[in-house]
Amino acid sequence: MTKRISPKDMTLPPDAITPNFRENAITVLNKRYLIRDQQGKVRETPQDMLWRVARTVAAGDLAFNPTAPIADLAWDFYELMASFDFLPNSPTLMNAGRELGQLSACFVLPVEDSMESIFEAVKQTALIHKSGGGTGFSFSRIRPHNDVVHSTKGVSSGPLSFMSVFDCATETIKQGGTRRGANMAIMRVDHPDIMDFIKAKADLTKLNNFNLSVAITDEFMEAVKTDGDYALVNPRDGEIVKKQSAVKVFRQIVKQAWQTGEPGIVFIDRINAKNPTPAAGTIESTNPCGEQPLLPYESCNLGSINLANMVADGKVDFQKLGRTVEKAVHFLDNVIDINRYPLPEIDRVTKRNRKIGLGVMGFADLLTTLGIPYSSPQAVGLAEEVMHFIDKKALDYSITLGEQRGAFPNFPESIYGRQNPAAPVRNATRTTIAPTGTLSILAGCSSGVEPLFAISFVRRVMDNTEMLEVNPVFERLAKAQGFYSEELMRQIAKAGSIQGLEEIPLKVRQVFETAHDITPRNHIDIQAAFQKYTNNAVSKTINFGHEATVDDVQGAYLLAYELGCKGITIYRDGCRANQVLSTAKTDKPHEAAEPAPPVKRDRPRSLTGKTYQMATGCGQMYVTINEDDHRRQFELFNFVGKAGGCAASQCEAIGRLVSLAWRSGMAPEPIVKQLIGISCHKPVGFGAQKVMSCADAIAQAIRQHIEAASGKGGRTVNGEAQGFGACPECGGAIEHESGCCVCHSCGYSECA
């Protein structure tokens, strides 16, 4: 029963439930979400934050009813969030009730074929990133490189050159100190520069603030199936430039994705076939993670229901789920009206269609609680059943709000208005499956509709203290069945999976599958099941093992199309680390270079370098790093003052192997990743100065060396090493989930 609170007293009641945030979540909240004073000291509790958000969003009812009982509604919204049944997207948690007041996560901006439009979009991007949002663009309207420019009688530099301008602008902005800029760049597959676009991130030092996706047409996919040609069209005049082999282009997309994880693809014709407001425009782009197709100047606010909390008596509690959906739709609709948009155009277009994106998190936890393997047909069936229920309930409640508040202004010309004018839908879209990397850390559940990240993993907190994190469902079950031990949990953390551990019952192993225990087909089946009943799109990463072939990736792309997905993003384990090896050049300008085998460089007679003194448990270590004439790391020597026997020999072995790797062309970042944090029985120091072992000391010396050489502080190892799996904030492992890079140790998200 709703608790009565006096509208004049909007303070949180003393008997309000206290949100049970885990320690990791508290760290994330303190770092990114909670209000700070002028000295940077946190002056808000997590409970205060949720109440700030709840009462601010509840006040949106006053626009429709000046006497609305908003105190009661605020209490409902607070309980919804404090119980972790639902959480809105990060900008809402950060900014509701604060001066900035920008609550949306997703924006799409138009980029037309003129200098004025391009640089206006750059300016608008800066304003959006400053406010905490991410941006998507289609660069398909910009004429290709070397095309004519009539006004100057010169030639065009092409869309890729302008993408670099957006990338530089994003790099400069810190998004109010809480969220890093993220962009999506999309290009139609029939653009003349498509081959260059596909390979734009083959060099992983380029366009680091962009995700790339190719907009695939149905015509192109038919040409792929028949091994036919398709037309490349100049967007400046609509003229066909030439015919191109669809298979050749498709193969290049696949090969590049196999090598680096990008580009992804979006099936743009399928997206527009489901466009609810075709009279308002054609959809050309999505938000940075691909789950939210939007018209130019549209924004969308997202939120996720925690399915892990929707279980009662060993089955899905659809009654509770239905109530949660209704409250969440009400919450998100209010956000549209109280939001302070960064641009007046966004305010106008957003309110014309009033799109919201209600999604889910904790799906993997739901499955494990019910004893259902992620890779089973039962999981696919449950995904369809749950999402069908959420989608229908969200539409029903949107109609209820439409009857009370009015349909979205573009309703008469929408697909809903034409089909059933008597059902005034409040929101043009209601459902989206978004990545929930940070939200799932706050709620203590699995991310989005992804499988489990890990059953157990070691988390390193600020002072380098290591803490063991165990999936709560697995921990409860292990203790109940009597096979729990910290030693076993650490063994699982090291192995990354429980498959093959015979001390764990077979049925438990079958249920608790992680991302790499299942096949790409299992991933796609789940994505397609959720997509069937999702208005917008589903953000998900299809994980491949390192040994996967180009043909395996191609099969996944084709399967995603056949099963009705609106796009697909893949990631092959360790693929980006391969990019540090030199690659052979090709005489064919539009074909990807095959990786060449590494070649060991001969040692010149003299080299220059630096020596670093590192304190270790075995005594003072002196690490010498020598470079060649091109300032590339060439060799490493180390000497430990008091060490002898095994310690000295192991350090010498590390030095030889590091030297061999560098002389064969490997970059330092993956070496740091492999050695950093290795511990022994004699650590030395505290906090940031702590050295866990001789191996850790060598890694820290390498990191100091390349940071000093780059002049970028910690960004060379921690920032640019994202492609190698190192978190730029805590050094933990980066996982690729829902089309984004996230760190489960500290809550960092590349896509913010």
Average pLDDT across the chain, whole number = 88
pLDDT digits (tens, 9 = 90+) for 505-551: 999 999 999 988 999 999 999 999 999 999 999 999 999 988 999 99
Question: How confident is the model at residue 470, as a pLDDT?
Answer: 87
Residue 155 has phi, psi (to 5 degrees) of -125, 150
Q: What is the secondary structure of 110-129 as a DSSP string?
A: ---SSHHHHHHHHHHHHHHH
Q: Interior CA angle at 387 toward 382 and 392, to 5°?
A: 130
Range scoring the smallest mean pLDDT among 161-175, 211-225, 380-394: 161-175
pLDDT of 177 > 60? The answer is: no
Proportion of the chain above pLDDT 90, given as a percent? 65
The confidence score (pLDDT) of residue 458 equals 74
Which of 104, 185, 571 has its CA nearest to residue 355? Answer: 104
**Residue 177 contacts residue 267 (beta carbons within 8 Å):** no
* pLDDT of res. 390: 98
3-state percent helix, strand, coil for the chain, nearest multiple of 5: 40, 20, 40
CA distance linking residue 540 with residue 526, whole number of Å: 9
| Phi-psi category of residue 473: left, alpha or beta, with phi > 0 → left and psi -120 to 50 → alpha | alpha
Contact 566, 213 (CB under 8 A): no
Looking at the chain, the domain(s) classified CATH 3.90.1010 span 608-710
CA angle centred on 328, ends 323 and 330, rounded to 5°: 100
**pLDDT above 80: residue 51:** yes
Q: What does each C-alpha distance from 485 to 170, 368, 458, 479, 629 come to in angstroms?
A: 46, 20, 15, 8, 53
Q: Which of 435, 332, 408, 279 is nearest to 104 (CA)?
A: 332
Reported as a single tens digit per residue, the pLDDT across 258-269 is: 999 999 999 999
C-alpha–C-alpha distance, residues 267 and 285, integer Å: 11
Beta strands in 140-182 (DSSP E): 148-149, 154-155
- Average pLDDT rounded to a whole number, residues 416-430: 96
pLDDT at 8 exceeding the cut of 90: no
pLDDT of the residue at 729: 61
When comparing pLDDT for 600 and 726, which is higher? 600
466 versus 81: the higher-pLDDT residue is 81
Q: CB–CB of 664/671 below 8 Å?
A: no
Distance, in Å, from the CA atom of 564 to the CA atom of 559, rounded to the nearest integer, reads 9
Lowest mean pLDDT among 32-41, 213-222, 365-374: 32-41
Give the span between the Cα atoms of 250 and 239, in whole angstroms.
Answer: 22
Place of tokens 């782009």: 285
Q: How far apart are CA 470 and CA 485, in angstroms?
A: 11
Angle, CA of 62, 391 and 537, to the nearest 5°: 100
The mean pLDDT of 641-667, rounded to a whole number, is: 83
* C-beta neighbour count of 589 within 10 angstroms: 7
Q: What is the mean pLDDT of residues 594-614?
A: 76
pLDDT tops 80 at residue 659 = yes
List the single range of 332-336, 590-594, 645-649 with lowest mean pLDDT: 590-594
Per residue in 677-726, pLDDT (tens digit) is: 888 877 887 656 788 889 999 999 998 898 887 665 443 333 333 333 45
Residue 6 has pLDDT above 50, yes or no: no
Answer whether the bond into residue 263 is a cis peptide, omega within 30°: yes
- The average pLDDT across 206-221 equals 94
User: Distance (Å, rounded) from C-alpha 725 to C-alpha 745?
Assistant: 12
For the segment 622-629, the average pLDDT, to the nearest whole number, is 90
- Taking the whole predicted model, whether its pTM rises above 0.75 is answered as yes
**Fold classification of 106-286 (topology level):** Anaerobic Ribonucleotide-triphosphate Reductase Large Chain (3.20.70)
Between 561 and 728, whose confidence is greater? Answer: 561
Instruction: Please tell me the distance from the alpha carbon of residue 525 to that of residue 531, in angstroms, as a whole number.
Output: 10
pLDDT at residue 175 greater than cutoff 50: no
User: Which residues carry out catalysis?
Assistant: 287, 289, 291
Which residues make up the CATH 3.20.70.20 domain(s) of the chain?
106-286
Evaluated on CA atoms 685, 687, 688, 693, the torsion sign reads positive
How confident is the model at residue 686, as a pLDDT? 62
Per DSSP, 745 falls in state: T
| Cβ pair 356, 333 in contact under 8 A | yes
Asked if the model's pLDDT at residue 92 lies above 50, the reply is yes
According to the model, what pLDDT value does residue 24 have? Answer: 83
Is the pLDDT at 583 greater than 50, yes or no?
A: no
The answer to whether residue 588 scores a pLDDT higher than 50 is no
- So what's the pLDDT on residue 745? 63
Inter-axis angle of helices 550-562 and 246-260, nearest 10: 110
| More confident of the two residues 168 and 590 | 168
Q: Are strands 567-572 and 541-544 parallel, antiparallel or unpaired?
A: parallel
Mean pLDDT of 152-162: 87
Give percent of the chain above pLDDT 70. 87
Rounded to whole angstroms, the Cα distance separating 91 from 57 reads 13
**pLDDT one-digit tens code per residue, 458-478:** 766 545 556 678 888 999 999
Confidence of residue 410 (pLDDT cuts 50, 70, 90): very high
Strands 154-155 and 293-294: unpaired
By CB atoms closer than 10 A (0-12, 13-18, 19+), residue 587 is exposed
DSSP 229: E
Q: Does domain 608-710 have CATH number 3.90.1010?
A: yes
Pick the residue with more confidence: 557 or 500?
557
In this prediction, residue 732 has a pLDDT band, given cuts at 50, 70 and 90, of: low
Between 577 and 324, where is the model more confident? Answer: 324
- Note the pLDDT of residue 599: 64
pLDDT (average), residues 357-364: 97
Parallel, antiparallel, or unpaired: how do β-strands 633-640 and 619-627 relate?
antiparallel
What pLDDT is attached to residue 714?
Answer: 41
> Residue 482 — pLDDT band, cuts 50, 70, 90?
very high
Tell me, what amino acid is at 640?
Answer: V
If you compute the radius of gyration of the chain from its CA atoms, what whole number of angstroms results?
27
Contact call for residues 47 and 41 (beta carbons, < 8 A): no
Report the pLDDT value the prediction gives residue 750, as an integer from 0 to 100.
66
